[in-house]
Amino acid sequence: MEVIKGTRLFNLDDRNAISECSSILTDGGLVAFPTETVYGLGANALDAEAVNKIFTAKGRPADNPLIVHIASLSQLDKLVLKVPNQVKLLSDRFWPGPLTLVLKKKEIVPDITTGGLDTIAVRLPDHKVALDLLNRCQLPVAAPSANLSGRPSPTLAQHVVTDLGGRIEAIIDGGQTGVGVESTVISLVEDRPTLLRPGGITYQELTEVLGEVDIDSAVKAELESENKSALAPGMKYKHYSPEADVILVEGEAERIAHKITKLADEYLAEGYQVGIMATEENSNFYTAGQVQVMGSRDKLSVISANLFRLLRSFDDSGVDIILIEGVSNQGLGLAIMNRLRKAAGYQVIRV
């Protein structure tokens, strides 16, 4: 175990990591831990004071609801008023996994955990460290991404150290996360299921299980509503943003490459340091700026896994502007483009 600015950093070789971090959670403290999506910042979801520490550490607005992580389907009964039939269908197919279900909550769940809503967002993560920790502490654990609010989500323990070192009690280093973007969020509150946030489970996969699934208007429009309460985690405020300005270029691949090359030349001529997040297919096209390859357009899971890590790496390299290639909205691309548009603050050029 290493101590950084007062935060304990455990690695998986430490036999006491799970037991000590479980005790921290039980005592009302904060622990960052890996999941299959990104690193989460955990607190006892039923302890309002503990949950409030999450908002303080992250600088997160208190009306932005949190996802509650559970170790087994049986824990749902304690948290929700009713378990609809769709829960079994979805949990049989996708749990453990990157799917969050929004359901009506019981009074035992503090309002601060749910952003003042009468619903709760719950998921069962697919990561050994997360499950070991949840099983050991036997608590529902509220855990948004373990980053400063608005920053790219952490996919490495070092990202958590950079953002939250000295602000939380402990971090468990489980290596790089796999999915790379956060969980899909679907509401089962109304008669028709509604996709509130695209993520690691695709819209197409949801329809295979449930039939018709509505898509929330905020997702359709790729705009964040400032005039209504957030329905799910990640639907309010600027998200996933590095320190540099981000411009997203969408369209046909060859046109994207031409536009980004033109923009890069213009910004470099003005004295800016430019980073380019390129797909594998176009990477050789760029001869100026700092080029980082996200992955192939044919392997969106690789792009997803690399997304936040690359955004953070450009911060480390000190670029002023990041130009990013858009990809298809199909399948996992819907989640990737959702995150990239938010990272760009909706500075999008379509060619």
What's residue 238's pLDDT?
A: 52
Q: Taking Cα atoms as reference points, which of 123, 154, 164 lies closest to residue 4?
A: 164
Q: Which residue has the tokens 């990272």?
A: 343
CB of 341 closer than 8 Å to CB of 348: yes
Is 60 known as a binding-site position? yes
Fold that domain 245-350 belongs to in CATH: Rossmann fold (3.40.50)
Is 183 known as a binding-site position? yes
| pLDDT-flagged residues of the chain (< 50) | 223-232, 234-237
Per CATH, the number for 2-221 is: 3.90.870.10
pLDDT tens per residue across span 161-177? 999 999 999 999 999 99
Is 119 known as a binding-site position? yes
Order across the sheet with 31-34: list the strands.
2-4, 7-11, 170-173, 31-34, 39-44, 141-142, 67-69, 119-123, 99-104, 184-187, 194-197, 214-215
Domain extents for the chain?
A: 2-221, 245-350
Is 241 known as a binding-site position? no
What's residue 222's pLDDT?
A: 59
Distance in angstroms (rounded) separating the CA atoms of residues 107 and 194: 24
Q: Within 10 Å of residue 329's Cβ, how many Cβ atoms? A: 16
Is 8 known as a binding-site position? no
The whole-angstrom distance between residue 93's C-alpha and the CA centroid of its chain comes to 21
Is 147 known as a binding-site position? no
pLDDT tens per residue across span 292-339? 999 999 999 999 999 999 999 998 999 999 999 999 999 999 999 999
Is 153 known as a binding-site position? yes
Is 64 known as a binding-site position? yes
Is 225 known as a binding-site position? no
Is 37 known as a binding-site position? yes
Is 309 known as a binding-site position? no
Is 341 known as a binding-site position? no
